[in-house]
Amino acid sequence: EPEVTQTPSHQVTQMGQEVILRCVPISNHLYFYWYRQILGQKVEFLVSFYNNEISEKSEIFDDQFSVERPDGSNFTLKIRSTKLEDSAMYFCASIRGLYGYTFGSGTRLTVV
């Protein structure tokens, strides 16, 4: 069964550093998403991406965040200057049509 692949599975970074989280969505999917879960809190939506542009973003997704689909297969989330409160599990997801989101296994980001 096709999978959404995320790398790395765990990343530790110093506060203020830039991080790039990588995702390879399912190849024929059209919509791509990033979600995150801070420990002990709900999974929360960050951004959706369709047709090479952001289609919706949450209040969390400020100027420190950006997304790209540089080569038609990878989908990346960049955090420019990480803060302690960015520590969370980040999930990538993709969907082809109306239903059936497929999630990756997540990248645990720890900011120290």
- Positions touching another protein (CB under 8 A) are 3-4, 9, 31, 33, 35, 41-45, 48, 50, 55-56, 58, 91, 98-106
Looking at the Cβ atoms of 66 and 101, the one nearer to another protein is: 101
CA atoms within 13 A on the CB side of 55: 10
Distance, CA of 82 to CA of 54 (rounded, Å): 21
Looking at the Cβ atoms of 28 and 41, the one nearer to another protein is: 41
* Tokens linked to 93: 């997801």
* Tokens linked to 8: 């790395």
Find the shortest distance in angstroms from Cβ 23 to another protein: 12
Looking at the Cβ atoms of 42 and 84, the one nearer to another protein is: 42
Query: Three-state DSSP class for 18?
Result: coil
